[in-house]
Amino acid sequence: MVIDINAEKDIMKARTGGRNRLRDMNAGAIDQARVLSAISELARNIYLYAGNGRLTLEIIEEPAGKRGVRLTAEDHGPGISMVNKALEKGYSTSGGLGAGLPGVKNMMDEFDIDSTPGKGTKVTVLKWIS
């Protein structure tokens, strides 16, 4: 699933799309809520800081029967000059709670961020679904 994020309503669209995928996977309520808030946070970051970008949701299936969801949030916005700061709880440049990125990192099983000031940001996360 690929959702272009250009407006606030696209965040809701991403969430609705994500919810349907997770339901199809028969993911539990807690896993669903976690992935959905991650979608919400990542999509909101795109909308808030870059204006537009794109969020991709992929379903991963390993031969052993392990299943997971990979989210990729990519934008060509201003980038983050201090990535470590952005991952610190309570740090925000937008007057928010500063809990978004650290929260996502905390809730997901794998987290990767790649940001170049002036070029854009790419966040990839993975959550195994039990």
Partner 1 sequence: MKQELKYIGEKIIENAYQLSMTVGGKNLSELEREKDDILSSAIHVEYRKKIFELFGISLFTDDMENLIEKVDEWSNQAAEIALHSGLSISDSLRVISSYRTVVWEVFTKELAERQFAAITILDVSKTIDPLLDRIGRVMSEVYERHNTNLMNNAYSALEELSVPVVPVTDGVAIIPIVGSIDTQRAMLIMEVSLNESARLNLTDVILDVSGVPIIDTMVANQIFQIISALNLTGVKAYLTGIRPEIAQTIVGLGVDFSHINTRANMRQALSEIGFKKVE
Distance of CA 125 to the CA centre of its chain: 7
- Does residue 3 touch partner 1 according to CB under 8 A? no
- Does residue 106 touch partner 1 according to CB under 8 A? yes
- Does residue 103 touch partner 1 according to CB under 8 A? yes
Strands, E, within 9-109: which ranges?
53-61, 67-75
Q: Which of 1, 102, 124, 126 binds partner 1 (CB under 8 A)?
A: 102
Q: Are 41 and 104 in contact (CB under 8 A)?
A: yes
Buried b (16+ CB within 10 A) or exposed e, 2-22: ebebeeeebbeebbebbbebb
- Does residue 129 touch partner 1 according to CB under 8 A? no
CB of 53 to partner 1, least distance (A): 17
- Does residue 25 touch partner 1 according to CB under 8 A? no
Query: Which residue has 């709670």 as its token pair?
Result: 97
Distance CA 69, CA 1 (A): 11
- Does residue 32 touch partner 1 according to CB under 8 A? yes
CB of 68 to partner 1, least distance (A): 17
The pair of structure tokens assigned to 82 is: 């201090």
The residues binding partner 1 (CB under 8 A) are 8-9, 11-12, 15, 19, 29-30, 32-34, 36-37, 40-41, 44, 89, 96-97, 99-100, 102-104, 106-107
